Amino acid sequence: MKEIQVVWHKVPDTDCVLSAIIAADYLEKKWYKKATPYIQGELNKETAYLLEQLNINIPETKTSFPEGTNICLVDHNEEFQTLDNLKELNVEWVIDHHKMKFETPTPLNMRVEPICSTGSILYKMYKESGFEISKNIAIMMLACILSDSLLFRSATTTKEDTILAEELKTISWIEDFEAFAMPMFNEKSDLWDMLVEKLIKYDYKEFDLNWTKVWIWTLETTNPWYGLGRKNEILEWLEAIKQKDNLDFIMLSIVDIIWEKNTTIVLDWKDTEILEEVFNCTAENNLADLKNRLSRKKQVVPDLTKYFG
């Protein structure tokens, strides 16, 4: 029996970290002698809080593996969100809920569904295989759903996610979703002591939209002033990063998860023009009201893809 390494994307969030830990458990139950989850980047405060509550050690960090290593990608599939030497590795599994941009030389196991979290998909996989779900695993699955769906507020939430979450109530012993999720969100929002340099690297995603290099940051928070209050500092960093990485477009959305509002910081006149056209909004003082666009995946990336297409 062989081994497999389970990895999540470079800017980890709760869904990808917990899903990698769950997926490793699943793959060991299913086929592999050993399945190990690895980190590729620093944990956010929400995820660190959950791991501590669940008494789980933070997995080891690795950004490349020896040639030919068996790999499972969790919660992502785009090349530059993942391992440095992906091309030399043997990707045997992808478990994801994002748009696909993926090519492999050999067939592989792929489970992709347009559902709110990778944790939801994994819960379905356990059920299909008839595997028992421990209380800890159920809590992790529920945390994935609540984190990625922002307590069912995000447009990515499907009816199935709410049904799965209801089912998980019994196994996880968690009855009150709000009471469970709010401390998570507050942990994630506690950014007052975070350097701007770190803050803006907190949750960015790089996209290659038809040869256009685009970076989109999302800062989900229960207190938007942690970000908005430091707008000028953020703009300086955005400018430096845009130049250094030779980007065509960048935007940083500060998403207020309580009031469901997206305020986006935009850097220069070029980006402003694009933003205004794509999202039909007006930017003033480098700020644009993107209304209730809470989901980058569903309400931001598709419009930008169309524009750059």
Q: Give the binding site for Mn ion (CB under 5 A).
A: 15, 75, 118, 148
Residue 193 DSSP one-character state: T
Name which of 46 and 148 has its Cβ closer to Mn ion: 148
Name which of 75 and 92 has its Cβ closer to Mn ion: 75
In the complex, minimum distance from the CB of residue 117 to Mn ion, in angstroms, rounded to a whole number? 5
Name which of 77 and 272 has its Cβ closer to Mn ion: 77
Q: Which of 142, 93, 144 is nearest to 117 (CA)?
A: 144
Name which of 16 and 283 has its Cβ closer to Mn ion: 16
Alpha carbon separation from 110 to 2, 7, 19, 55, 145 (Å, rounded)? 18, 15, 15, 30, 20
In the complex, minimum distance from the CB of residue 126 to Mn ion, in angstroms, rounded to a whole number? 17
In the complex, minimum distance from the CB of residue 118 to Mn ion, in angstroms, rounded to a whole number? 5
Question: Can you read off the two tokens belonging to residue 257?
Answer: 């998860």
- E strand or H helix at 209: strand 204-209
Dist. CA 139–CA 125, nearest whole Å: 16
In the complex, minimum distance from the CB of residue 10 to Mn ion, in angstroms, rounded to a whole number? 14
In the complex, minimum distance from the CB of residue 19 to Mn ion, in angstroms, rounded to a whole number? 7
Cβ-proximal residue to Mn ion, closest one:
15
Q: Is 104 helix (H, G, I), strand (E, B) or coil?
A: coil
Name which of 51 and 275 has its Cβ closer to Mn ion: 51
Q: Provide the sign of the torsion angle of the four alpha carbons 106, 107, 113, 114, taken in this order.
A: positive
The answer to whether the CB of 258 falls within 8 A of the CB of 268 is: no
